Amino acid sequence: MIRFFLIFFLLLSFGNSTIRAEDGYRLWLRYEKIENAALRQAYLGRLSQIFMDGEGPILKTAAEELEAGLGTLLGKPIPATRVSGGTGGVIAGILGRSDVLGRLVSDEDARKITAEGFLLMSGPEHLIIAAKDARGVLYGAFHLMRLLQLRLPLDGLHIIENPKVKLRVLNHWDNLDRTVERGYAGFSIWNWHELPEYIGQQYIDYARANASIGINGAVVTNVNANALVFRPDYLEKAAALADVFRPYGIRIYLTARFSSPIELGGLPTADPLDPQVRQWWKNKADEIYRLIPDFGGFLVKANSEGQPGPREYGRSHAEGANMLADALAPHGGVLMWRAFVYSEEEPEDRAKQAYNEFVPLDGQFRENVLIQVKNGPIDFQPREPVHPLFGAMPQTPLMMEFQITKEYLGQGTHLVGLAKMYGEVLQTDTYARGKGSSVAKVVDGTLHGYQITGMAGVANIGTARNWTGHLFGQADWYAFGRLAWNPYLPAETIFKEWAELTFTHNPEAVATITDMLSSSYETCVNYMTPLGLHHIMAAGHHYGPGPWVSKMPRADWTSVYYHRADEEGLGFDRTETGSNALEQYTPDFRRQYADMDKCPHKFLLWFHHVPWGHVLSTGRTLWEELCLHYHQGAAEVGRLKKKWESIKEFIDKERYRQVSMHLEIQEKEARWWRDACLSYFRAFSEMEIPSGLEQPGHTLEYYRSLAYPYAPGIRPRW
Ligand code: BDP
């Protein structure tokens, strides 16, 4: 009997040896030991030791990461030493520091490497990581370990990777009290109260994770800014974070509240042309750089949603931005000024505001200013056409702002692979310089020759043990980093990488996860805002449907403003007969959307008010098509669940369960979206939901009565 149990338990533990308990904390950096002995041996042939050519904090990090990562992957200590002339092993370093690398790397290759880029090249018994700077070496080291994690061969390796975008930054909408605006993964990881003395392990692991995907900047405070962060004691706290980030090649940035000179400095004004105000900012910048010599700069939200700004003093956004840019310039800092502005007076169409405000200012900004533009003209909706500013400001570097946190895309409970959306936006042609003028080319600077370039992602990170709350939210963080490095990477490539790094090497499971991520974006759009609908979420927290929202302090915060449902039809006419927002795009772009009958369906109701009975190219009426999309979306979530169930055996128990539970919620919420929206719109169309489709389980009154005062992520009232 005892023997029987022993054998039973042995079998049990062997059976599970490849699937250990996991809680998601290790992200995509799990470095599981390579099981295949032959493959391990093959790797060891080139990677048995590490020689570092050069020194400094970032190179030290690279050496430590390689030691730890390769050691775990290969199941054997891989020691790192200074380069000594030996050749077997990894030889990593900065070109031109000593002649060891110089001898191994051709001049032609060396010329091709740019700032932060790297060369990864294998020889018979060695592997070279060569770069022009320390960050490049670190990124090369992580790239090498990714190859091993993906079990890819190193024979004949010759890769040159240069980042296409210079500033690859996360934007944390984190408040100093640790609440996170639009955060669904717990509280802020920055514990300001215990800083600067207490350095949480999570800060270090955060920096590692970012460096591993090429992120080189973090704005640690909310765009709805608090001047307190400029108080000397808070600056010391920020300096402590900067010290953690520095060895990982990450710079810290802060959000600057425009009225800080009043609130903190006691000045009577924050007018950007006032000499005292200008001096205050100069002094503040000097103070910051004394503490943080590599401080990145400021991010500013001004004259938007109640935030103070230059317009209060009759000054332009350029005058406001330039004042701050001048304070930062002597230290090499940059100023990221957001284009997400809309004036106090309600406009005929909010989608037009940023363009109207900023295009006339093209060329008026200092050289160290970037204008940070959201991907679409309204506000991170599930699907928006690209922002008309992309391509319209050739003399001003525009940087992309994506939202990684899913404020409008299912928040903490829906699986939606955002890389698909990012890719769709980046690949869109603006036609600014003729065909082929993609948004990616605007952002990477090649279209207009921008000197600085950037991409920002509003972070989805919090104190949740798995960082992002929804485990698949990690894929969005990962994708953001990879796309900021290379905006041309296909979403599927990223998903596949992430699936394999995060879960398993089983090809079937990897393919299934890739497929789940790839299809989930369209699915979500379908059950939330199909056919170009937008901004019909519940008010305030934006959790769940709220197409009936009609009473808010401003009309352009309501849903009825955006969907314009009436007896006649549905949608916002943004053509010549309506707000003519379409006019802000180039003629070739416009041509695709101007005609209701030719407009791609995904933006139909964004650009047109379409009669309910209008027959679309599918042969169905608008109403039928709307019903079908909502139903398809909800049904797809059921299929997502099935796909996940089909790979259960390849996923560890804990993470399997996490995702399963979220999929249950998503399915319930997708149906809620479908039924609430169709019940509401039905009152206008006066048409029935086609009989083959499931009918809403409740009355419209019921859906309207649902209230969630404690839904997460709302901005606290200070
Ligand atoms: C909106 C959010 C709001 C942010 C704002 C912004 O609802 O919380 O402050 O964007 O980007 O999406 O400034």
**In CATH, what number is assigned to the domain containing residue 305?**
3.20.20.80
Beta bridge partners of 402: 457
Asked if pLDDT for residue 337 goes beyond 80, the answer is yes
Question: What does the block give as tokens for 416?
Answer: 């939606």
Among 303-312, 432-441, 658-667, the minimum mean pLDDT is found in 303-312
**Would you state the pLDDT for residue 416?**
98
Among residues 465, 492, 510, the one where a domain terminates is 465
Task: Tell whether 448 and 541 lie within a shared domain.
Answer: no
Asked if pLDDT for residue 15 goes beyond 60, the answer is no
Task: Tell whether 152 and 229 lie within a shared domain.
Answer: no
Q: Report if residue 12 sits inside a domain.
A: no
Asked if pLDDT for residue 558 goes beyond 60, the answer is yes
Task: Tell whether 534 and 672 lie within a shared domain.
Answer: yes
Residue 223 Cβ contacting ligand 1 at under 6 Å? yes
pLDDT in tens, 258-268: 999 999 999 99
Task: Tell whether 458 and 569 lie within a shared domain.
Answer: no
Give residue 136 CA to ligand 1 midpoint distance, Å.
34
pLDDT in tens, 441-472: 999 999 999 999 999 999 999 999 999 999 99
Asked if pLDDT for residue 10 goes beyond 60, the answer is no
**Would you state the pLDDT for residue 296?**
98
For the chain, the residue count is 718
Task: Tell whether 415 and 555 lie within a shared domain.
Answer: no
Asked if pLDDT for residue 79 goes beyond 80, the answer is yes
d(CA 193, CA 203): 14
Residue 715 Cβ contacting ligand 1 at under 6 Å? yes
Which residue from 156, 139, 38 is spatially nearest to 94, judged by alpha carbons? 139
Q: What type of residue is 281?
A: W
d(CA 103, CA 293): 34
Task: Tell whether 304 and 444 lie within a shared domain.
Answer: yes
Residue 182 Cβ contacting ligand 1 at under 6 Å? yes
Beta bridge partners of 337: 300, 371
Give percent of the chain with pLDDT exceeding 70.
96
- Quick check: is 379 catalytic? yes
User: Which residue of the set 305, 348, 566, 688 is catalytic?
Assistant: 305
In this prediction, residue 100 has a pLDDT band, given cuts at 50, 70 and 90, of confident
Q: Look at 490 and 81; give whichever has higher pLDDT.
A: 490
d(CA 390, CA 294): 30
Task: Tell whether 110 and 171 lie within a shared domain.
Answer: no
Rounded to 5 degrees, what are φ and ψ at 300? -130, 130
**Would you state the pLDDT for residue 82?**
85
Mean pLDDT of the chain: 95
Question: What does the block give as tokens for 259?
Answer: 């009225």
In this prediction, residue 21 has a pLDDT band, given cuts at 50, 70 and 90, of confident
**Residue 196: cis peptide before it, omega within 30 degrees of 0:** yes
Average pLDDT over residues 229-236: 98
Task: Tell whether 174 and 109 lie within a shared domain.
Answer: no
Residue 380 Cβ contacting ligand 1 at under 6 Å? yes
Radius of gyration, alpha carbons of the chain: 26
Average pLDDT over residues 671-684: 98
Residue 340 Cβ contacting ligand 1 at under 6 Å? yes
Q: Which atom in ligand 1 lies closest to the alpha carbon of residue 542?
A: 7
**Would you state the pLDDT for residue 273?**
98
**Would you state the pLDDT for residue 399?**
98
Question: What does the block give as tokens for 349?
Answer: 């169409």
**Would you state the pLDDT for residue 85?**
62
User: Which residue of the set 379, 429, 573, 625 is catalytic?
Assistant: 379
In this prediction, residue 524 has a pLDDT band, given cuts at 50, 70 and 90, of very high
- Residue 650 to residues 232, 447, 499, 505, 571: CA-CA distances in angstroms? 51, 45, 12, 9, 45
In this prediction, residue 202 has a pLDDT band, given cuts at 50, 70 and 90, of very high
pLDDT in tens, 583-601: 999 999 999 999 999 999 9
Q: Which atom in ligand 1 lies closest to the alpha carbon of residue 380?
A: 12
Give residue 625 CA to ligand 1 midpoint distance, Å.
31
Average pLDDT over residues 608-626: 98
Which residue from 418, 414, 465, 492 is spatially nearest to 659, judged by alpha carbons? 414
Task: Tell whether 433 and 563 lie within a shared domain.
Answer: no
Burial of 354: CB neighbours in 10 Å, binned 0-12, 13-18, 19+: buried
The CATH number of the domain holding residue 577 is 3.90.1330.10
Q: Which atom in ligand 1 lies closest to the alpha carbon of residue 181?
A: 8
Give the total number of structural domains in the chain.
Answer: 3
d(CA 700, CA 346): 30
Give residue 46 CA to ligand 1 midpoint distance, Å.
49
Secondary structure percentages of the chain, helix, strand, coil, to 5:
45, 10, 45
Question: What does the block give as tokens for 486?
Answer: 């290379």
Question: What does the block give as tokens for 35?
Answer: 């099981």
Q: What is the dihedral of CA 639, 640, 644, 645, to 10 degrees?
A: -30
Q: Report if residue 604 sits inside a domain.
A: yes
> Half-sphere exposure (CA, 13 Å, Cβ side) for 604?
23
For ligand 1, atom 1: residue with the closest CA: 379
Task: Tell whether 370 and 242 lie within a shared domain.
Answer: yes
The DSSP symbol for 568 reads: S
d(CA 102, CA 110): 9
Q: Report if residue 216 sits inside a domain.
A: no
Q: Report if residue 138 sits inside a domain.
A: yes
Among residues 126, 161, 196, the one where a domain terminates is 161
In this prediction, residue 17 has a pLDDT band, given cuts at 50, 70 and 90, of very low
- Quick check: is 407 catalytic? yes
Beta strands in 541-648 (DSSP E): 569-570, 610-611
Give residue 420 CA to ligand 1 midpoint distance, Å.
22
Beta strands in 508-620 (DSSP E): 569-570, 610-611
pLDDT in tens, 152-183: 999 999 999 999 999 999 999 999 999 999 99
Give residue 223 CA to ligand 1 midpoint distance, Å.
8
Task: Tell whether 131 and 177 lie within a shared domain.
Answer: no
Structural domain of 403: 167-182+223-465
Q: Report if residue 501 sits inside a domain.
A: no
Give residue 667 CA to ligand 1 midpoint distance, Å.
26
In this prediction, residue 16 has a pLDDT band, given cuts at 50, 70 and 90, of very low
Q: Report if residue 10 sits inside a domain.
A: no
Task: Tell whether 141 and 173 lie within a shared domain.
Answer: no
Q: Which atom in ligand 1 lies closest to the alpha carbon of residue 715?
A: 8
**Would you state the pLDDT for residue 20?**
65
**Would you state the pLDDT for residue 14?**
41
**Would you state the pLDDT for residue 11?**
44
Which residue from 405, 403, 462 is spatially nearest to 185, judged by alpha carbons? 462
**Would you state the pLDDT for residue 718?**
38
User: Which residue of the set 407, 429, 625, 675 is catalytic?
Assistant: 407
Q: Report if residue 514 sits inside a domain.
A: no
* Mutation to probe ligand 1, out of 305, 353, 717 (largest number of atoms < 8 A from CB): 305
Q: Report if residue 450 sits inside a domain.
A: yes
Question: What does the block give as tokens for 250?
Answer: 């990450």
pLDDT in tens, 393-402: 999 999 999 9
In this prediction, residue 549 has a pLDDT band, given cuts at 50, 70 and 90, of very high
The CATH number of the domain holding residue 103 is 3.30.379.10
d(CA 411, CA 544): 9
The DSSP symbol for 694 reads: P
Among residues 446, 465, 484, the one where a domain terminates is 465
